[in-house]
Amino acid sequence: MSFNSLQYLVFLPLTVLIFHRLSNKYKPYFLLIVSYLFYLCTHILSPFILLFTTIGGYFFAIKISETISEKDKKSLLFTGILLNIIILLSCREIFKSLIPAIGVSFFTFQNISYLIDCYLGIIQPERNFLYYALYLSFFPKLIQGPIERASNLIPQLKHMKNTICEYETLRGGVQLFFWGMFKKIFIADNIAPVITSILNDINGTSGPVLLIITYLYAIQIYCDFSGYTDMSLGSARLFGINLTNNFNYPYFSPSTQDFWRRWHITLSGWILDYIFKPLSMKGRNYGNYGVITALIITFVICGIWHGLTLNYICWGLYHGILISLSFLTYKKWEKFCKKYKINQGIIYIINVFITFNLVCFSWLFFMTKTLSDVWLILSKNITTLLNFLAIHSFDTGISTCFIIVIAIFFFIEVLQAKFNIKAYFERQNVFIRWAGYYIMIMVIILWGNYGSKETLEFMYFRF
């Protein structure tokens, strides 16, 4: 059951209604059952995989904390991590036609983070199986994240009993949900068919069109994934739960390092804490070489997390190299700008422009299936740019009106980032607010794309 499906639009309000009518004692039980039913809709075997992973994480964590010998603790931790990796690889690669457990990479990563945090003593293992099971299965974040830490979610789940159904909280949740839906159904899904049709005939597509879809894909993947995240956070808020935001205006980042602090924040936080930090600390006496090696290994693993294909590995490698270069040159660039007294605003715009273009290029590895397609699009893009955008007549199949709406959308994002326009909107009187809601819902209904299966599905489902 996808967030943008009609079933979910019935399922969610019904669940919220029953949840708030229930006596406090039964709320966590109810959410657990509902979450497993939600997951059952993806595949008959999926809940069993989830349950198996949960039982493993629960017992391994308790055993790790009760073990005194450091050597035994380490062995238990590695066995627990290995078990999760085997589950992940089995579902994602080896038996994917048999058990297509959607979201397995998200809950196994949460399980691993929980085991490591218990090993390090950052958290104590959860003794109540109900809350641990709910931590892994809570349906708003089950299929596509955010990758929550136990220290953030479990305490909230425990206090859920005291959740009061406040109008402000519900309103905020519903607003966020529909804003996400607008990003997904109206923006991302209207771009999707254009890109799919062009990718079917890359050879026959002109350079300028390929250049435009390179940027359009960046908008699509952002609106698709951040739209999903908004719907996820909005759904959770209806139960009084605050999940971690995954996006912080990533396309306005002035460096690739900064981009990774703002894009898929919970995944980048995960790889940083559990892969980069141990690696960089191990290699800390090798100076910059140690840091760069750790960065490249970390990002290659991050690429592999998306799928065991050459494209994803190269995507990870590319980001590893980019961040390494940024790490080596950022201070020198800052000093250079200070020395020549270049205006801060201009520096920021130049940095954002360069970072955005470098990131857009990296999406070519996501957009296509083979490296030869990446090279073909890239070479055509370069030729187009060298001809200084010698744009003849071309048609991407996207209307000018839609491009203007995308521009307005990003303008709203800028306003939100700078001035918190959402809070300003909420202070307006009831007529203005409801006019805004009606416009957004009408846009989603009238101009949203409800076409093929490929547009209905969220792009990050495959991970």
CB of 263 to other proteins, least distance (A): 15
Among the residue ranges 78-86, 162-170, 189-197, 281-289, the one whose residues contact other proteins (CB under 8 A) = 281-289
Of 92, 7, 10, 6, the residue nearest 41 (C-alpha): 7
429 touching other proteins, by CB under 8 A: no
284 touching other proteins, by CB under 8 A: yes
CB of 277 to other proteins, least distance (A): 6
Among the residue ranges 28-36, 236-244, 273-281, 440-448, the one whose residues contact other proteins (CB under 8 A) = 273-281
Q: d(Cα 55, Cα 76) in Å, to the nearest integer?
A: 15
Contact 106, 141 (CB under 8 A): yes
Neighbours of 307 (CB within 10 A): 17
Near other proteins by CB under 8 A: residue from 33, 122, 386, 390:
122
What DSSP string describes 14-81?
A: HHHHHHHHS-GGGHHHHHHHHHHHHHHTT-TTHHHHHHHHHHHHHHHHHHHHH---HHHHHHHHHHHH
CB-nearer residue toward other proteins: 206 or 351 = 351
Q: d(Cα 284, Cα 82) in Å, to the nearest integer?
A: 26
266 touching other proteins, by CB under 8 A: no
Q: d(Cα 427, Cα 429) in Å, to the nearest integer?
A: 7
Contact 58, 127 (CB under 8 A): no
Among the residue ranges 155-163, 213-221, 284-292, 408-416, the one whose residues contact other proteins (CB under 8 A) = 284-292
Near other proteins by CB under 8 A: residue from 161, 171, 277, 338:
277
301 touching other proteins, by CB under 8 A: no
Our CA angle for 438, 442, 444, nearest 5°, is: 120
Among the residue ranges 165-173, 272-280, 390-398, 412-420, the one whose residues contact other proteins (CB under 8 A) = 272-280
272 touching other proteins, by CB under 8 A: yes
120 touching other proteins, by CB under 8 A: yes
Q: Kindly determine how many residues on this chain lie close enough to bind other proteins according to the rule CB under 8 A.
A: 20
Near other proteins by CB under 8 A: residue from 65, 245, 248, 257:
257
Of 363, 330, 342, the residue nearest 254 (C-alpha): 330
Give the binding site for other proteins (CB under 8 A).
Answer: 120-122, 257, 272-273, 276-278, 280-282, 284-285, 287, 290-291, 295, 327, 331
